[in-house]
Amino acid sequence: MEFQRVEEKPRHFNHFYPAIAAVIGVEAEGRVNFMPAVWNVGLSFDPPLFGVSVSPKRFTHGLLEAASAFSVTFHPYEQAERVQRLGSVSGCEVDKVAAFGLEVVRGRALDVPLLGGFYAAYELEKTAAWPAGDHTLFVGRLRGVWEDPAAFTAEALDPARVRALLYFGRYRYGYPASETRVLGKR
């Protein structure tokens, strides 16, 4: 076991990976844009709050500041290359929707764009933007949830039906094991 004392930055900061690589969708200032975000997190059940941590360097950041709502979509492993592509160019240089021929689904509860091809998605009303070091944690309240019924059992995502897209850092992608075990009940 190695130990590293941290004064400023750790050597790696990906020990909490693998994690789901979701995609943020936002529209503002006449632009629709999508970017992958692995720093995404559920924050509260009641009210249902979900957050994404976004660097001010991202074009998405400015759009999220201007918008009152955004989407987060969850995609299968088979779409890893598309997700990686969305994370390797910026909307400030490229109209990703036109350049990549992206399918844009319109929100039902909110006026937000969602990247097509998801097995689940959230429509989120922006409720807060908290500075967090060199990122901003944008918090959204769920106003709409999309679920592909073929992907879920009555209780949870079935990994035998959908391979969730996991990010391991440094451009590495994978998916979870195809089995889950139920170890408790409430």
- Position of minimal CB gap to ligand FMN: 87
Burial of 105 (0-12, 13-18, 19+ CB in 10 A): middle
Nearest approach in angstroms of CB 147 to ligand FMN is 22
| Angular region, 29: left φ>0, alpha ψ -120 to 50, beta rest | left
Q: What is the DSSP string of 106-137?
A: EPSSSS-EEESS-SEEEEEEEEEEEEETTEEE
CA gap 70, 111 in Å, rounded: 8
Draw the binding track, 146-185, toward ligand FMN (x: CB under 6 A; -: no contact): ---------------------x------------------
Q: Could you say whether residue 99 binds ligand FMN (CB under 6 A)?
A: no
By CB under 6 A, the count of residues binding ligand FMN is 21
User: Which contiguous run of DSSP H or E holds residue 143?
Assistant: strand 135-147
Nearest approach in angstroms of CB 162 to ligand FMN is 18
Nearest approach in angstroms of CB 21 to ligand FMN is 4
Nearer to ligand FMN, 117 or 180 (CB): 117
Q: Could you say whether residue 141 binds ligand FMN (CB under 6 A)?
A: no
CA gap 4, 9 in Å, rounded: 10
Nearer to ligand FMN, 87 or 107 (CB): 87
C-alpha pair distances (Å), 52 with each of 60, 118, 143, 149: 11, 17, 16, 25
Among residues 18, 27, 32, 60, the one that binds ligand FMN under rule CB under 6 A? 60
Q: Reduced to 3 states, what is the DSSP secondary structure of residue 3?
A: coil
Give the position of tokens 């969730």: 164
Q: Could you say whether residue 100 binds ligand FMN (CB under 6 A)?
A: no
Among residues 50, 51, 54, 72, the one that binds ligand FMN under rule CB under 6 A? 54
Binding to ligand FMN, residues 4-43 (CB under 6 A): 21, 33, 35-39
Contact footprint for ligand FMN (CB under 6 A)? 21, 33, 35-39, 53-55, 58-60, 84, 87, 89-92, 135, 167
